[in-house]
Copies of this chain bind each other. A is one copy, B any other.
Amino acid sequence: MQFVGSHIISVDQFSRSAADQVFTVADQLRPYAQREKMTRVLEGAILSNMFFEPSTRTRVSFGSAFNLLGGEVRETTEVKASSLAKGESLYDTARVLSGYSDVIVMRHPEAGSVAEFAEASRVPVINGGDGANEHPSQALLDLYTMRTEMQASGRGLDGLTIALIGDLKFGRAVHSLCKLLSYYANITLKLIAPPELTLPAAISATLQAAGHTVSTFENLNDGISGVDIIYVTRTQEERFPSQTEADKYRGLFRLNQSVYTQNCAPNTVIMHPLPRDSRDHANELDDDLNENPNLAIFRQTDNGMLVRMALFALVLDVVDQVDVHAKPVSWYVGDRAR
Contact = CB atoms under 8 A, between A and B. Distances in A.
Nearest to A77: B81
Given A89-B287, A99-B301, A334-B5, A64 B56 contact: no
Contacts of A333: 102
A129 interface: no
Nearest to A54: B81
Nearest to A316: B331
A248 interface: no
A43 B123 CA distance: 25
B123 A334 contact: yes
Interface in A33-89: 35, 38, 40-46, 48, 51, 54-57, 59-61, 63-64, 67-68, 70, 72-78, 80-83, 85-89
B336 A57 contact: no
Contacts of A40: 43-44
Given A44-B38, A46-B67, A96-B274, A282 B87 contact: yes
A87 B122 contact: no
B275 A83 contact: yes
A305 interface: yes
A38 B60 CA distance: 26
B317 A332 contact: yes
B60 A67 contact: no
Given A122-B338, A316-B332, A278 B56 contact: no
A278 B87 contact: yes
A235 to B, nearest CB: 10
B334 A330 contact: no
A336 B122 contact: yes
A74 B96 contact: no
Interface residues of A, number: 85
A122 B277 CA distance: 21
Contacts of A68: 44, 46
A327 interface: yes
Contact of A60 (B5, B63, B74): B74
A252 interface: no
Given A40-B44, A44-B329, A72 B67 contact: yes
A277 B87 contact: yes
B67 A54 contact: no
B74 A57 contact: no
Contact of A92 (B93, B102, B276, B330): B276
B317 A331 contact: yes
A80 B56 CA distance: 10
A229 B254 CA distance: 59
A108 interface: no
28 contacts: A5-B332, A5-B334, A38-B44, A41-B330, A42-B331, A44-B68, A45-B331, A54-B78, A56-B81, A60-B97, A60-B100, A75-B75, A77-B77, A87-B276, A87-B277, A87-B278, A88-B275, A88-B276, A88-B277, A92-B278, A96-B301, A99-B301, A99-B302, A100-B305, A102-B333, A122-B335, A123-B334, A318-B331
